[in-house]
Amino acid sequence: GQNIDQPTEMTATEGAIVQINCTYQTSGFNGLFWYQQHAGEAPTFLSYNVLDGLEEKGRFSSFLSRSKGYSYLLLKELQMKDSASYLCAVMDSNYQLIWGAGTKLIIKP
């Protein structure tokens, strides 16, 4: 079956760095997405990786290793507004998005 695993919850301190991991097993691979979702709101796009390596976008970076079925989202200089759920999603060979359950990130002052 198809499976996306990410931690349920993480806690970090304002100003620090946090890494959210995602491992996946899917039938085929056409890219991995990270989305941010604040409580009660729809997800917003953060990043897309289809090739191995690190993609950097300001305070957020995303890494992909296709051979390991592994990705991480790195958040630097954490701000209180970064408190949200972070969803990992993989596009399979049929271009269907397989969603992880999300990681709830709690930022403490």
Instruction: Classify 82 as helix, strand or coil.
Output: helix
Nearest to 4 by CA among 36, 32, 30: 32
Q: What element of type H or E holds 23?
A: strand 18-25
- Taking the C-alpha atoms of residue 27 and residue 102, their distance in angstroms, rounded to an integer, is 20
Residue with tokens 């191995």: 52
Q: x/- binding map, residues 51-90, to other proteins, per CB under 8 A?
A: ------------------------------------x---
When binding is defined by CB under 8 A, the residue of 3, 14, 17, 41 that contacts other proteins is 41
Tokens of 65: 């290793």
When binding is defined by CB under 8 A, the residue of 16, 17, 54, 101 that contacts other proteins is 101
When binding is defined by CB under 8 A, the residue of 42, 51, 53, 67 that contacts other proteins is 42
When binding is defined by CB under 8 A, the residue of 1, 45, 53, 57 that contacts other proteins is 45
Residues that bind other proteins (CB under 8 A): 30-31, 33, 40-48, 87, 91, 95-97, 99-102
